[in-house]
Chain A
Amino acid sequence: MKETPLSNCERRFLLRAIEEKKRLDGRQTYDYRNIRISFGTDYGCCIVELGKTRVLGQVSCELVSPKLNRATEGILFFNLELSQMAAPAFEPGRQSDLLVKLNRLLERCLRNSKCIDTESLCVVAGEKVWQIRVDLHLLNHDGNIIDAASIAAIVALCHFRRPDVSVQGEEVTLYTPEERDPVPLSIHHMPICISFAFFQQGTYLLVDPNEREERVMDGLLVIAMNKHREICTIQSSGGIMLLKDQVLRCSKIAGVKVAEITELIQKALENDQKVRKEGGKFGFAESIANQRITAFKMEKASVDTSNIEEKAEEIIAEAEPPPEVVSKPVLWTPGTAQIGDGIENSWGGLEDSEKEEEEGGIDEAVILDDTKMDTGGVSDTGNQALGLMILISFGYFLKGAPIVLSDSEEEEMIILEPDKTPKKIRAQTTSAKEKAPSRSQVKRRRKKRTAN
């Protein structure tokens, strides 16, 4: 589905509102939208809501061999996905420019700022290190994806606990959560991205643009900063020229916002930890606001399953017995069996094309018929096609014996008896040779062998 284009009057309206220092959602220029952080039951799982923008983060880990040039460092991997759920314009499985840009920015913000101690992720140097994978899913797109994603990533990383390992000599032991408490990652600092949108060639500035504002903006400046006011990444896009004092002003604002957000994150993490320690209820079920009329909960419901056995018996008793299966296949000779009678051959078209070759074929058919007579006298099947005939072979079809399951007119059924027939057939073939078979006949035979 395509993105609905923004009409000119909408665009003009938005820009005029910005000129008058007004925002459609009632915020001031430097206001951030509300942030809500909720945690799942697993470690390293969180949902971050920034206004209506929503990102799901999940951290997972795996023991892998390290990169050759970094033998003592763990591996960090970030993957932001723009699900179609977030906006109809996002197509599944396509690497759009936006997605590449966002993923790269996240990597720069979180990996290159060295906020995670990768050396502590090493288990055995050069052999085993932890690979930490951060999956971020955008669930709802209402602007400023990068801020929400960076918060979700760092919150998920802080919340994550990896299984404990111990190394004794060569042996690496991995402990389950029941045996030893999982250990948190060592995190040096928490870089957070803050976005600034510029309008009218940098005349107007807005913090935390929403989706509508993003669509009319001229340029975007993203500053990643930690609470010590250290800039981790800075990126300006959209091709606007910014003055030095504009950038400095933005970094000052970013410092304030980052301090607020970091405090919020720490509070949320502490809350969750406290609830877990006290054995209270946690997980997404608890984060659903119960006052909302759109939400509803039901407690554990016991289902009355006392009568299911009777019901099942009743249904089985009522049901028609399954159609009688031919339980006894007709055993013509040892090694072969027949089920059912077979039906009329309907492969008419093929026969026409083969007719030219058919002249010599009759002799062969006669011979083969003889064979049938000898082996069991099944030649009475006459012009019936094989249909449901099943040849059950118990192994060893002798090499060269013409086992033919063909649909041509004459030879419908050739039954071989492993012990006796091969000789007979050989005898028959020699006799056929005596009759000087035509070339076409030989050709036919070869064809059939290859077909088998």
Chain B
Amino acid sequence: MEVAKRADRKVSADTGAESSPRGPVCSLRHFACEQNLLSRPDGSASFLQGDTSVLAGVYGPAEVKVSKEIFNKATLEVILRPKIGLPGVAEKSRERLTRNTCEAVVLGALHPRTSITVVLQVVSDAGSLLACCLNAACMALVDAGVPMRALFCGVSCALDADGNLVLDPTTKQEKEARAVLTFALDSVEQKLLMSTTKGLYSDAELQQCLAAAQAASQHIFRFYRESLQRRYSKS
């Protein structure tokens, strides 16, 4: 109950419009998550980071096509659907990155010869889309009750022309940035599960971004924890 109260209070406080500029201090946009909102999939979650929103549905462990069957572990499939038009190369690339991240944490060996399908639907894109996809996928996998070694989260960092670091960038910030780095981190040791980068940066900047992402991941994992606590609380 306490958690619920706190959440209510937080919401009553001003959210601040998305367009307002964020201060020099690194911050994450406001987060929201709703689990189990679809009736057909085994697990579903809608994850919002600022105005970026992704809906995820998970089916599994379920029957697998014979051609895709793996005899000693579950076949993991990730499908990402764009909002406008047909999926292209960018979607395929994000699908692959998400799949590789999920494969690293899902205990597929517990369900051999089955399929676990994660379907992601972009609802709105306002920057840090891949990070949001990863977070939505994780929450949906948790909702579906798929056994995992650890939880994971996605964090995007952008480096602007002056070398300033921006966490969870918006589309505008991503466009202006010199480099955009996206990391997937696990919840146990905050170790790196996946990283993808675009643009130019030095090795010192890479380490800085990674350290910042690790700091941000603590917030995201706390968000996961509180949202699950609220969900499974008795009151």
Contacts and interface: CB of A to CB of B under 8 A. Distances in A.
A98 to B, nearest CB: 15
Interface string B52-80: 01010101001100000000000000010
17 contacts: A41-B51, A45-B124, A52-B38, A84-B79, A84-B117, A85-B119, A88-B41, A137-B81, A139-B38, A284-B46, A285-B51, A303-B26, A303-B27, A305-B215, A311-B211, A312-B208, A313-B204
Interface residues of B, number: 70
A285 B32 contact: yes
B84 A316 contact: no
Q: Which of B25, B37, B51, B53 is packed against the most chain A CB atoms within 10 Å?
A: B37
A161 interface: no
Contact of B79 (A60, A92, A141, A292): A92
Contacts of B99: none
Q: Top 4 nearest A-B pairs by Cβ distance?
A: A296-B227, A312-B207, A85-B57, A308-B211
A85 B215 contact: no
B11 A140 contact: no
Contact of A302 (B26, B57, B83): B26
Contacts of A301: 27-28, 31, 219
A419 interface: no
A87 B41 CA distance: 7
Contacts of A243: none
B48 A311 contact: no
B30 A303 contact: no
B156 interface: no
B120 to A, nearest CB: 8
Contacts of B205: 312
B85 interface: yes
Interface of B: 4, 7-8, 10-11, 13, 15-18, 22-23, 25-41, 44, 46, 48, 51, 53, 55, 57, 59, 62-63, 79, 81, 83-85, 115, 117, 119, 121, 123-124, 126, 165, 167, 203-205, 207-208, 210-212, 215-216, 219, 223, 226-227, 230-231, 233
B48 to A, nearest CB: 5
A135 B25 CA distance: 39
A241 interface: no
A293 B7 CA distance: 11
B214 to A, nearest CB: 8
Interface in A296-330: 296-305, 307-309, 311-313, 315-316
B84 A83 contact: no
A396 B29 CA distance: 58
Contacts of B35: 294-295
B94 to A, nearest CB: 15
A139 B121 contact: yes
A281 interface: yes
Interface in A167-209: none
Given A41-B126, A295-B33, A305-B26, A140 B83 contact: no
B32 A316 contact: no
B107 to A, nearest CB: 21
A239 interface: no
A305 to B, nearest CB: 4
A181 to B, nearest CB: 16
Contact of B119 (A40, A83, A315): A83
A133 interface: yes
A2 interface: yes
A285 B4 contact: no
Given A284-B53, A297-B7, A300-B16, A1 B40 contact: no
A315 B59 CA distance: 40
A304 B215 contact: yes
A140 B212 contact: no
